[in-house]
Structure 1
Amino acid sequence: MAFSVNTNASALSALLNLNNTTRDLEKTQTNINTGLKISSAKDNAAIFSIAQKLRADLRGYNAVKQSLDRSISTTDIALAAAGSISDLLIEMKEKTVAASDSGLDATSRTALNEDFAALRDQISTIVANAEFNGTNLIDAGTDAVVAITNPNATQTISIAHQNLTLGGGNVDITATQTITTQADATVALAAITASLTKVSAVLTKLGAGGKSLESQRIFADKISDTIEVGIGNLVDANMAKESANLQSLQVKQQLGVQALSIANQAPQSILSLFGQ
């Protein structure tokens, strides 16, 4: 071994090893603090890029789920309203059939007509209140449900508008319909019978659409969970492993400090060559 006061190779080697250990220790501490083994492109550019793309997809699916939730709520309200209207039409049919009896007295016919009118007007009330987030699928407007189903917003599920207003496309009973006479009752009965058929078709369409939305919502949850797990597999730190590394590196750092201290004392031995 050469003795030199200008160059201390042992100290330089010990310092290099200590710096390496310190960097590893800092990286391990960062992994523990963040819970990530890859927290920036510096750690692994390719994996970080893949993880970022997956994170973007995950955010996109969050928007998909919000769109589906709104659409499901809108459809559910329209479906409930359509079901109530169907029930009202059935009650109205009962009143109308009774009013078709030619032997009915005037008092009974008047009472039946009042009940009929009350049921008729309830349809208008239900239609007016069948709204969610500004969208009404069964009024006289043109609102429709369009829910996005993928994170790029290029695929959708649509549910068409269904007019259930009095005298509208699917309800033949008008806002002024009465059953004050046998003839009126006969006309009303025909309108109610046709309306029941049409409203049943509306219920089928809304029900099928609602089922599709719910199925897509479940699928979106599964996809989101899968993406989230995939991101974790790519970038999450193994905390048990990091804990073991931390303890090992802390001991290694302490030993490195001691080794550097010993190496720094080496030049002192030169003094013994001069009788010091």
Structure 2
Amino acid sequence: MALNSVNTNVGAMVALQNLQVTNSELQTVQSRINTGKKVASAKDNGAVWAIAQGQRSEIGALNAVTDSLQRGQSATDVAVAAGESVSDLLLQLKEKALAATDETLSSSARDALNEDFKSIRDQIGTVIENAEFNGVNLLDGSITGGFKALANVSGDTIDVGAEDMSLSGSVVSLGASQEIDTKSKATSALSDIDDSIDQVSASLARLGTGSKSLATHMTFVGKLQDTLEAGVGNLVDADLAKESARLQALQTKQQLGVQALSIANSSTSMLLGLFR
């Protein structure tokens, strides 16, 4: 049987302990509702928080991979656009060179064709010079080995080879000073142009494949990031519907605890009735 004492109120002590437990649980639920997370710091769940932090670092690193892939794709797309322009210019040059092989041309007509030829030839140099994105030019021979875009957080790369389409380069065999002012020069230029057209077409095919590879991998990286973020959410995010229901229950429990403590505290005053 419990001791009736004004010094020690066991009922009040038990009610207070229960109320403190309820208040602690209520504070936890309110924190989850405020932050939207069931694991907001290491003290909530050290193991889960550490796992989540590791995945967050992976997601952050993948942002750098995405940026590198985007730069690579942009540089490659610029190169493809410039290469297509070079191909179109070579077709025009072929027309001029073929016309200049006609032995019946007058001197004035040949000179006119030669001037057109030189103007179009020089446009190739201008196009190549301006085929640059963020300091990267895949067509002027300035980059050895091509563009290396990050493929993963380990530092592996996806390489897109450079194609030197500058005049007298490895792709365009047409010389920077080549002319068609004579039939023999026109015949020689026609052969060089045919070779250049074939080489430029092959280069464009490689660049197009490289751009597609970067785009495909960038799509994969985006999906990977989404999956990792969903995984982190599963680990640390709070179920707000469940927490809302729990909040209502704990608030009711808190009110009952306060009433229970009030009743327990008033029990000692009942002892006064024994002395009347």
Question: Which category of TM-score, normalised to the shorter sequence, fits these structures?
Answer: over 0.9
Deviations 1:40-70 (A, max 9, x none): 1211111111111111111111111111001
1:41 is matched with which residue? 42
Q: Map of 1:44-193 to 2, 5 A cutoff?
A: 44-142=45-143, 144-153=146-155, 155-193=156-194
Cα pair 2:5 2:268 within 8 Å, conserved: yes
1:220 is matched with which residue? 221
Q: How many angstroms apart in 2 are the aligned matches of 1:66 and 1:34?
A: 30
2:9 is matched with which residue? 8
Q: How many angstroms apart in 2 are the aligned matches of 1:111 and 1:252?
A: 98
1:243 is matched with which residue? 244
Q: What is the SS of the residue equivalent to 2:159? A: strand
Cα pair 1:117 1:178 within 8 Å, conserved: yes
Code of the residue aligned with 1:119 in structure 2: it is: I
Q: How many angstroms apart in 2 are the aligned matches of 1:204 and 1:182?
A: 33
Deviations 1:233-252 (A, max 9, x none): 11111111111111111111
Deviation, 1:36, is 0.5
The count of residues paired between Structure 1 and Structure 2 equals: 274
Q: What is the SS of the residue equivalent to 1:88? A: helix
Code of the residue aligned with 1:221 in structure 2: it is: G
Deviation, 1:152, is 2.7
Identity of aligned residues (%): 50
Q: How many angstroms apart in 1 are the aligned matches of 2:256 and 2:140?
A: 80
Code of the residue aligned with 2:5 in structure 1: it is: S
Q: Map of 1:14-33 to 2, 5 A cutoff?
A: 14-33=15-34
Cα pair 1:60 1:152 within 8 Å, conserved: no
Cα pair 1:145 1:158 within 8 Å, conserved: yes
Deviation, 1:107, is 2.1
Code of the residue aligned with 2:256 in structure 1: it is: L
2:273 is matched with which residue? 272
Q: What is the SS of the residue equivalent to 1:146? A: strand
Q: What is the SS of the residue equivalent to 1:131? A: coil
Q: How many angstroms apart in 2 are the aligned matches of 1:137 and 1:58?
A: 30
Deviation, 1:140, is 3.0
Deviation, 1:174, is 1.3
Runs of 4+ in 1 over 3 A off after TM superposition: none
Cα pair 1:35 1:239 within 8 Å, conserved: yes
Code of the residue aligned with 2:167 in structure 1: it is: L
Cα pair 1:67 1:147 within 8 Å, conserved: yes
Q: How many angstroms apart in 2 are the aligned matches of 1:140 and 1:215?
A: 26
Structure 1: stretches of 5+ with no match in the other structure: none
Q: What is the SS of the residue equivalent to 1:147? A: strand
Q: What is the SS of the residue equivalent to 2:187? A: helix
Deviation, 1:106, is 1.8
Code of the residue aligned with 2:90 in structure 1: it is: L
Q: How many angstroms apart in 2 are the aligned matches of 1:168 and 1:112?
A: 24
Q: What is the SS of the residue equivalent to 2:154? A: coil
Deviation, 1:142, is 2.1
TM-score normalised over the length of structure 2 = 0.96
Cα pair 1:75 1:137 within 8 Å, conserved: yes
Deviates more, 1:138-147 or 1:95-104: 138-147
Deviation, 1:274, is 1.7
